[in-house]
Amino acid sequence: MSTSIAVRGLSFSYPGGHQALDGVDLTIEAGERVAIFGPNGAGKTTLVLHLNGIHMPADGVVTVGGLPLDEKSVMEIRRRVGMVFQDPDDQLFMPTVRQDVAFGPANFGVAGDELDQRVVSALTAVGMEHAIDRAPHHLSLGERRRVAVATVLASQPEILVLDEPSSNLDPASRRELATILAELDVTVVMVTHDLPYALELCERSIILDSGRVVADAPTRELLGNEALLTAHRLELPFGFDLRTV
């Protein structure tokens, strides 16, 4: 198995001095599905924004598929690492779904029949091909989130990074998205507060707190450690019984 993502000694501070990451070390192998959770302000989103160069390393190294992230490699790494943000409206800004999904691959030089095929294929993968000529703002939140995933899949990334993919979804939309994500043949990194969602989709999970990795183990093992969860302000939903899942 080849290494998909390697993070070594990654530290990052925002203007004003707040240190969001403090010496993060992390390795993710190709094909793995890894959840990242922790309390608010732990540095989760800051970490994943380094994985495709939205943030550049201040101290430390980020490597994607053996390619170190720097100013020369950032465009290739953005092709390899697709980001799906928590708010789909951050990604959907064109008049139609077709144009939104075509936007990414077109920026990477894809055109003509290949671009059309990628758009249809990506929308089919998320069950939204019927909405190809609709306006994104006429779709439900669950539908917009699936289209946001399609905008990333159209660029054929090796790695899919999702920030709070299940947030604010109704139960049916939550289940539909989980089914789609489970079938994708890519490396998945998922930031979430939804611990059952992490259990459903990711065999491995990482707890981040105060900008540091404090636990890295199989998801079921972490969720079964009540003392660990409590120490880092995490908890399973009321009535959720890990033994029945």
Q: Is the pLDDT of residue 244 over 80?
A: no
Tell me the pLDDT of the chain averaged across its residues.
92
Is residue 147 situated within a structural domain? no
For residue 15, the model assigns a pLDDT of: 87
Question: Quick check: helix, strand or coil at residue 4?
Answer: strand
Is residue 132 situated within a structural domain? no
Helix (H) or strand (E) holding 100: helix 97-107
CA distance 153 to 144: 14
Is residue 14 situated within a structural domain? yes
Q: Is the pLDDT of residue 220 over 80?
A: yes
For residue 222, the model assigns a pLDDT of: 95
For residue 115, the model assigns a pLDDT of: 96
CA distance 245 to 240: 9
Is residue 199 situated within a structural domain? yes
Q: What is the largest CA-CA distance in the chain?
A: 56
Q: How confident is the model at residue 16 (pLDDT cuts 50, 70, 90)?
A: confident
> Mean pLDDT, to the nearest integer, of 220-228?
94
Is residue 116 situated within a structural domain? no
Is residue 142 situated within a structural domain? no
Cβ atoms of 209 and 230 within 8 Å: the answer is: no
Q: How much is the pTM?
A: 0.91
Q: Is the pLDDT of residue 1 over 70?
A: no
Question: What CATH number does residue 223 fall under?
Answer: 3.40.50.300
Is residue 101 situated within a structural domain? no
Is residue 103 situated within a structural domain? no
Q: How far is CA 203 from CA 32, 128, 199, 217, 219, in A?
A: 8, 27, 7, 9, 5
> Mean pLDDT, to the nearest integer, of 197-204?
95
> Mean pLDDT, to the nearest integer, of 141-165?
94
Report DSSP letters for 108-168, one per residue.
TT--HHHHHHHHHHHHHHTT-GGGTTS-GGGS-HHHHHHHHHHHHHTT--SEEEEESTTTT
For residue 239, the model assigns a pLDDT of: 78
Helical pair 112-125 and 97-107, crossing angle rounded to 10 deg: 120
Cβ atoms of 104 and 81 within 8 Å: the answer is: no
> Mean pLDDT, to the nearest integer, of 81-106?
94
Residue 87, strand partner residues: none
Domain that holds residue 74: 3-85+159-244
Overall number of domains in the chain:
1
